[in-house]
Each structure stands twice: as structure tokens, then as C-alpha cells.
Amino acid sequence: MTELLKTPGETPPTTAQGRAFGPWCTRAVLKNGPLGGLIALVVVMAVLSQDFLNGQNLLNVGVQASVTAILAFGVTFVIVSAGIDLSVGSVAALSATVVAWAATGEGLPVWIAVLLGLAVGAAAGLVSGALVAYGKLPAFIATLAMLSIGRGLALVISGGSPIPFPASVSSLGDTLGGWLPVPVLVMIAMGLVAALILARTYSGRAMFAIGGNEEAARLSGIHVKRRKLVIYALSGLFAAVAGIVLAARLTSAQPQAASGYELDAIAAVVIGGASLSGGSGKASGTLIGALILAVLRNGLNLLSVSAFWQQVATGLVIALAVLLDTLRRRSAR
Amino acid sequence: MTGVNDDVPGGRELLRVEGVTKSFPGVRALDGVDLSLRTGEVHVLLGENGAGKSTLIKMLSGAHRPDEGRILADCGADGGTNGAPGSGAQGLREVHIRSAQDAERLGIATIYQEFNLVPGLTVAENIFLGRQPRTALGLVDRKTMRARAAELLRRVRLDVSPSTPVSELGIARLQMVEIAKALSLEARVLIMDEPTAVLTSDEVETLFGIVRELRADGVGIIFITHHLDEIGALGDRVTVLRDGRSVDEVPASTDEEELIRLMVGRDISEQYPRTRPDAPGAPLLRVRGLTRHGVRSSKGSPARPAFEGIDFEVRAGEVVGLAGLVGAGRTEVARAIFGVDRYDAGTVEVGGTELARGDVRAAMRAGLGLVPEDRKGQGLVLDASLQDNLTLARLDRDTRRGLVDRGGQRREAAAVAGQLKVRMSGLGQSARTLSGGNQQKIVIGKWLLAETRLLILDEPTRGIDVGAKVEIYQLINELTAAGCAVLMISSDLPEILGMSDRVLVMAQGRLAGELPAAEATQDAVMELAVRSPKGAAPPDAGHTPSTNKNHPGQSAMEGSDD
Ligand SMILES: Nc1ncnc2c1ncn2[C@@H]1O[C@H](COP(=O)(O)OP(=O)(O)OP(=O)(O)O)[C@@H](O)[C@H]1O
Ligand SMILES: [Mg+2]
């Protein structure tokens, strides 16, 4: 290390650096899990691109991560309880469309329109939850159905074309004081709420029990079906918030917005260390997962890597992250 | 039985463990353990819960690797070459067992304490998992596989079709499938971790017969059990583990008291320390005419045995034992009372108020608690921490103004873990990594924290060592002295007789009779248990005779433990 520090900065000895960097990176990732991975990725991007580590760009990364992260917080609840929610992208678009339709189309007061949008999100989640808990449908199927229904309803309500968002809600997509993007603030706030729900509420603790062993949870007096309603409703509610933030950034509700985002959200949760078989997961991990995806995309953009290769890289990172996480867990046994 | 094999010249050493040490975060599970196994011997591993027995055998099966020490094996004719030539006795070489495949190559087969069967697959597929016979085209040869499985099943006297999905089998039958699977490996070393914990006496006899045959064939067997009477009946030598150290190696003819002393490090004065109350208190639980009609699974055999006309009551301060053969419907009745399963007729009253059917929360609110027989499948969230497991049943009580009081939970969990003397590295340890007996203490502790007034214990001491058993019995005494009551289901007859104030006996879904403690003897209970109920046919008699060829008194009736 000391030798490295002594070498003049203008001519970085790339080979030596590469050699030292590899094992350091692996160790950091193995030891700290997702956070180590994020730091390693940031370091790599900073080395590869001069433009990466500047304040404005980092805030951009935050904005890019915000919608995925908010969706992913909601999905974390579902995944911790050993379910899956494929509908969050559609529900986000539906909620945003409802807000725009109510405020712009029907002329309702903005706050009522927003409440209506949030209620629609939660209701969509409730329906998925009811299908899973009472209809005994596999979560995959129930939320796949909701994915289609949500998107369809968004198209029906909007007639297929974007509806302008009310100006006061659109300010959610702006910055505070000219530099601090509101979406980042919303992301942080929703992250804190998610962390609080997971760690400290009855529903949160029940999520871990249900995901870990549903039968044991039931035999310990947890009303599993009712909890599932709450879990999917929370996921829908978070999706509605994400949808409103996205529409605010675009200043219009687009019925086709956020399609495919559910996969990013699930990826963020899994990269963040949650297990798809349930019983584990953290809001902080999910945030890191969303940031990893955003850093990767932003960095690759700066390096002008084509969008096609970006998809390949994202896939590789997902696989790598989960692989490392499995290794880490095994070595901890 | 005689421990003659100890001195038999032909008893060649098959396996030797020298100074093996293994640590997990926070615990030293094994500390310089020695063990040796010869051909044609049954070597019993004895030790308290958490002494390190399972950890030791996991070194031999490739699941764990030792931190220190070495394992020597007689590599036999096939002469596996993974290891340097050993310096020890001739024929023995140091081996490094890194995986289940390595163990299999050395001829070591293991039946783990926890089951390793794939629920969706059939019995035959599970037995030959990964080793299915192939046809010339490389496809799985189902016919041969089924025929060979059928033969193995006959050997373990298990009356199920090879094409039954294992998910339809109860615990006892799962254990017999595990044994059949191990037999199919034709191993030279067979390791069994508490195989008898879930078996009834008939099945235990079958197992012993098989083990004796294998011993005669020269197989070396490592046998773990908490039933001391099995040691004299089956074993040749005994290695006693205490706190991860091998304390002694003694012949199996050593008397039980001495074995207990070696194992626990002190004498146990009384095995069943029941202090019976002078007069039981007011009725706590009253069950009237509880009935459920049989439910048939897809294959025609009843998936769950039914019960009919169950009437009894449990009074404050009482321990009521529920005896019967496996499949008599005891577990089903317990689950129905606790609201886990629905029932078709009858009532359950607690303290005079009737409970809603199929509502666990209502049962809990009325003061009921259930320690299920399958602690891993139904009692514990295995990957959650001990704190979360202990406080699970009082989660709503610990929630104030929407937030769970984590600090309070930690204090409660610490208190009850201390009271039950749970052997753990900390409350953050996951329940999975606890030894079997300590896991059971966690499940019981959960109900203590839920302030249960009537605790239903289903096979509470399955897989529990003698010392911990007495601790659990003492706990039962404390509970009843405090005015609570206990309904105890157990297949361990001495335990039922030693601890109950009254014994209810079930046979084929009905209450066959009730015996006060003074009249409850082994013979009296068994006579009631095997008696076919007078008059009416059993409630599940609807199914075709071909699937009901079990003799009524046979223990291998429909497994109750689904
Ligand atoms: N993977 C693990 N991680 C941490 N601790 C472990 C792990 N496996 C076992 N232990 C600990 O090692 C000790 C020995 O456990 P082991 O399962 O070998 O006991 P045992 O003698 O088989 O007990 P039982 O009779 O209850 O089955 C226990 O204290 C247990 O908690
Ligand atoms: Mg064990």
C-alpha cells in the first residue's frame, strides 16, 4: 500500500493497482456484504471516470435510484414474508394516473387527488393480498394478474395518453434550495419508514416469522392471512408513492411508465441481502441494492457504454451480488 | 446383551477419531474428542443436549470439517486415496472428508437427526436420490427403482407403496424411510443420530432387528440415543461426551445410574419428580363430544385420522396424560382444541366460555398454549434469533402504541432462557444451530412467556436428555403448583405414568378409557390402547379395505404426525 501511495498520481501504474485492488475488493465485499459491494463499485467508477465523483452527479445517482428504491422498500416487506410482488411497476403507473386524472381531469383538490392515488395503490395491494391469503393463489400468479390489471386500468383511465401532473405535486420532482432533489428526500423518508416497520412494528416482526416458518407463526397466534393483506397493501402503498414521485419528475402521469421496474425492485431487494425464500431482509440493504443498480447505470452511461451492454452488466452484477452473499453466509456458518 | 464384541479378535478397527476440535462462533462444540469404531460393533454416543454428538458425526459425514485433530479410516478393498498414509494401526489411514460424496466413497452412511427427504418426491425417488438406477438409454429405470425400494421397505417393515409422496407420511414413517435409504447405500459404517426418538416400540424393535443383522454382517454402527434402556439392549461400547469432551468409554453393560453420572456429571435422584396436588382445582378446560370426520387424501388413504365423541376435562393444578398408539388421533385432538384445525362437532370450553372453532388466537387469549410434536416444522422459526422465537407468541402484548418493545423482549427472553438453562452462545443465535434439546426448551419457553394457563405438550421430551427431561418435569410441577394445568401427549409410557395425575387413553380416534394415577400401569394403559372401540366402527372406516389392512393394534397405523 505504501508503495502505491508513493507513486506519482499522473502516471498510475495500472497493473500494480489492478493486482492490489482485486483481493482488496473481494475481501471488502465478503466482509461487509452489499455495502462493501457498493463502495467497491463507487471506487471502480471513480477510477474509470473523472465525472463520476462530483456532487451533482452523485445527486443524479440518488434521483435515479429513488423510484426503484421506494418500490423496492415495499417489495422488501413481501419478500421478507416469503412472497413476491410483480405488480409494483403497474400499480405505480396506475396510482400516478389516478392522481393526474382526479386533479387535472376532474378538478378535485390536489390533496384529495393524492390521497386517492395512495388509496388506489393500497387497494391494489389488498386485492393481491386477498388473492394470496384467502384465494390461496401463489403470490407469483396473483401479482402477475395484478400487473396486467393495473397497467390495463391505467390505460383505460388515461385513454392511453399522458395526463399532465398538477404543478404543486410536480414540485416533488424538483430540488430544494436549488440543489437538493426532493425525490432523494422522499426516498430517505420512505426508507426510514420501511426500516421502522420492519424492525419495530407488530406487522414487521410478523413478516419475519411468516417468511421464516409460516406454520410456526400461525401456531404462535399470528393471524397469517390478515398479516398478508397488510403486507401486500403496504407494498401497493409504497408503489403508489413511487409512482407519484416518478410522474412528478416527468411532470405527467404516463400510463406506460415504470414498466419493468418490478424486476429492478426485486433485484435491489435481493442484492441487498434478502433471501427469496423469506425470513431475512433489511431496508438498509434494499437501499444499497437500489444504489448499486443506479451507480452501475450512471457509471456505464458516463463511460458511454451502450444500453444493450448495460443490460448485460446489470444481469452480471445481480448474479455476482447474490453469489457473494451466499458465499458470505456459508463462511459465517 | 453382552458386550463381547469388545474383545472379538475379528473386530477390526474401521474408523478412529483423534483429538478432534470444532468451534462455532461463540461455542466450542467439540474439544479434543476421541472415538473408535470396529467392525461388527454398535458404538453408542451418549451425552446431554448440546454435548456435541451431532457435531461429531457431522465430521464423519462430511457436513463439517474439524478445526484440529484427525480422522482415520480403513479404506478397505476399494482403497480410496484421498489422504496421506496414516501412521496409526495397520489398515487405517488419515482421511479428509470434505463432502457427502467423500463419506460415501469411504462407505459411511448417515441418518441425521433432522430429516433429509424431499417432500414432493416419492418414497422410492427419495431412497435413490442421486443414485437412481438407469436404463440403457440413461433414463431413470423406474421399474427397477420401485422394485428395489419395495424390497427395502419390506426390510424395514414399512407398509407403504414406493410411489407414495413422502409428504403424506408421518414422522415415524419418515424415519423408517431414512433408514431404508441408508440401508440402500450398503455402507460399512452406519451412523444413526437419534433414530428412535420418533419411533414407537414396535418400530424400535424392527430397527433393532435390522441393526443386529447389520452388526452380524460386520458393519460398524454409531448409534446416538437418549433412551438409556436401548444402550444395554443394543450397544457394545459407549462413548460419553460432556461439554464437547469425551469423558469416558465404557462397556454397554454399565448400569444406567453410572451412565447418567458420566453424562451429567452428577446423580439424578428421581426420574419423575411429580408432586401431585391434594385436590385438583376448578375445571380449566372442558371438551365435549369433539368430532371430526375423516379427510381422505388423493390416494384414498386418510390423510388425517379422525376422532369422535371426545369428552374430558382438565382441572387447574392437574397433569393429564394422553396416551395411545401413534395414529390414535391424539395430536389431532390437541390441534383441534388449540384451534389449529377445524372440527365438525362438539365444543371446547375454557373457564366456562366456549372457544371459536379453528381460531388459534382465541385459544391463546383464553390461556391455551401448544408445544407441537414437530418442533422444527411447527414450533420454531429456524433462521430467526432465539429472542424472536421466544417472544413470538407475545408479540402483540409487547407492542405498545404501534411499536414493539425490543428492549423489553430482550429482557423477557433472557429471563426465560436463564430459567430453562438453555445452552446457547447468546440470544442472537439462530434457532437452527441449537442442539435438539435446547430447541425444545425454546419452544416451551415461548409459551411460558405467553402466560399460558393450560399448556398442551405433544411429545415434550422427544430427543431430550435425562437431565433436561427432569428439568422439564420440574417445570411442569412449577406450572401446576402455580395453578396452571398441563395436557401431555406422549408415546413414552413411563413418562406418562410417572408424571400424570390422570391418564386418558385413546384408541382409533376415540377415548378408550380413563385411569387415575393409582390404577395407571403399563399393562392397563396398553390394554386400553390396543382395544378396538366397542360397538361402532372407527370413524374413518369409510375407505376401502385394501388401504386399511393394518391390524388395529399395530403401531404402524396412519401416522398422526402430518
Ligand atoms: N452451525 C452451528 N453454529 C453454531 N453453533 C452450533 C452449530 N452447530 C452446533 N452448534 C452448537 O454446538 C453445540 C453442540 O451441538 P450438537 O448439535 O452437536 O449437540 P448434540 O449433542 O447433538 O445435542 P442433542 O442431543 O440435543 O441433539 C451446541 O451448543 C450447539 O448450539
Ligand atoms: Mg444432536
Question: Could you report the per-residue pLDDT of B170-226, keeping only the tens digit for each?
Answer: 777 888 898 888 888 888 999 999 888 888 778 888 889 989 988 998 999 999 998
- Please compute the mean of the pLDDT values over residues B386-401 and round it to a whole number: 93
Mark whether B252 and B315 lie in a shared domain. no
Mark whether B227 and B365 lie in a shared domain. no
Atom of ligand 1 nearest to the CA of B437: 26
Residue B134's pLDDT is 83
Mark whether B204 and B290 lie in a shared domain. no
Q: Please, which pLDDT band fits residue A255 given cuts at 50, 70 and 90?
A: very high
Q: Which of B475, B522, B464, B84 lies closest to B275, judged by CA? A: B475
Residue B284's pLDDT is 93
Residue A7's pLDDT is 34
Residue B100's pLDDT is 86
Mark whether B179 and B309 lie in a shared domain. no
Which residues 50-89 on chain A approach chain B with CB closer than 8 angstroms?
none
Query: What's the number of domains chain B is made of?
Result: 3
Mark whether B95 and B58 lie in a shared domain. yes
Ligand index nearest the alpha carbon of residue B52? 1
Q: What is the pTM of this model?
A: 0.82
Residue B537's pLDDT is 41
Flag whether B542 is in a domain: yes
Per-residue pLDDT reduced to its tens digit, B41-50: 999 999 988 8
**Domain at A323, CATH number:** 1.10.3470
Mark whether B433 and B391 lie in a shared domain. yes
Contact flag A212-B381 (C-beta cutoff 8 Å): yes
Flag whether B272 is in a domain: no
Of A279-288, B145-154, B420-429, B553-562, the poorest mean pLDDT is in B553-562
Mark whether B253 and B168 lie in a shared domain. no
Residue of A199, A202, A218 with shortest CB distance to B360: A218
Cα of B196 to ligand 2 centre, how many Å? Answer: 13
Per-residue pLDDT reduced to its tens digit, A132-171: 999 999 999 999 999 999 999 999 999 999 999 988 888 8
Question: Residue B145: is its pLDDT beyond 50?
Answer: yes
Mark whether B305 and B373 lie in a shared domain. yes
Mutate to test the pocket of ligand 1, among B30, B48, B54, B61 (most ligand atoms within 8 A of CB): B54
Per-residue pLDDT reduced to its tens digit, B481-523: 999 999 999 988 889 999 999 999 998 889 999 999 889 998 8
* Chain A residues close to B337, C-beta within 8 Å: none
Flag whether B254 is in a domain: yes
In this structure, which residue's CA is closest to atom 1 in ligand 1? B433
Q: Please, which pLDDT band fits residue B296 given cuts at 50, 70 and 90?
A: low
Flag whether B147 is in a domain: yes
Owning domain of residue A262: 36-328
Mark whether B93 and B140 lie in a shared domain. no
Flag whether B273 is in a domain: no
In this structure, which residue's CA is closest to atom 7 in ligand 1? B433
Q: Please, which pLDDT band fits residue A270 given cuts at 50, 70 and 90?
A: very high
Q: What is the DSSP letter of A164?
A: E
Q: Please, which pLDDT band fits residue B77 given cuts at 50, 70 and 90?
A: very low
Who's near B315: CB < 8 A, 6+ residues apart? B280, B281, B282, B283, B284, B485
Half-sphere exposure (Cβ direction) of B283: Cα atoms closer than 13 Å:
10
Report residue B167: phi and psi, to 5°: -65, -15
Residue B348's pLDDT is 95
A218 in reach of chain B (CB within 8 A): yes
Owning domain of residue B150: 117-186
**How many CB pairs (< 8 A) connect A and B?**
73
Question: Residue B543: is its pLDDT beyond 90?
Answer: no
Contact flag B396-A202 (C-beta cutoff 8 Å): yes
CA B121/CA B146 separation, integer angstroms: 13
Question: Residue A55: is its pLDDT beyond 60?
Answer: yes
CA B169/CA B173 separation, integer angstroms: 6
Residues with CB under 6 A from ligand 1: A 333; B 24, 27, 29, 47, 49-55, 113, 423, 433-437, 465
Question: Residue B538: is its pLDDT beyond 80?
Answer: no
| A255 within 8 A of A2, measured Cβ to Cβ | no
Flag whether B399 is in a domain: yes
CA A186/CA A173 separation, integer angstroms: 10
Flag whether B144 is in a domain: yes
Residue A216's pLDDT is 95
Q: Please, which pLDDT band fits residue A256 given cuts at 50, 70 and 90?
A: very high
Who's near A194: CB < 8 A, 6+ residues apart? A73, A74, A76, A77, A238, A283, A286
Across all residues in chain B, what is the average pLDDT? 84
Q: Please, which pLDDT band fits residue A25 given cuts at 50, 70 and 90?
A: low
- Please compute the mean of the pLDDT values over residues A293-309 and round it to a whole number: 93
Contact flag A213-B380 (C-beta cutoff 8 Å): yes
Paired with B237 in beta bridges are B43, B251
Mark whether B209 and B177 lie in a shared domain. no
Residue of B377, B383, B393 with shortest CB distance to A215: B377
Contact flag B361-A223 (C-beta cutoff 8 Å): yes
Strands B510-516 and B454-458: unpaired
CA distances from A90 to A240, B195, B487 (A): 10, 52, 52
**Domain at B202, CATH number:** 3.40.50.300
Per-residue pLDDT reduced to its tens digit, B82-128: 444 444 445 788 999 998 888 988 999 998 877 788 888 999 999 99
Note the Cα A242 to chain centre separation in Å.
9
Residue A21's pLDDT is 55
Residue of A199, A209, A223 with shortest CB distance to B381: A209
Flag whether B242 is in a domain: yes
Which of A219, A230, A282, A329 to mutate: most B Cβ within 10 Å? A219
- Please compute the mean of the pLDDT values over residues A270-285 and round it to a whole number: 91
In this structure, which residue's CA is closest to atom 6 in ligand 1? B433
Question: Residue A193: is its pLDDT beyond 90?
Answer: yes
Mark whether B296 and B416 lie in a shared domain. yes
Flag whether A26 is in a domain: no
Mark whether B89 and B132 lie in a shared domain. no
Query: What's the number of domains chain A is made of?
Result: 1
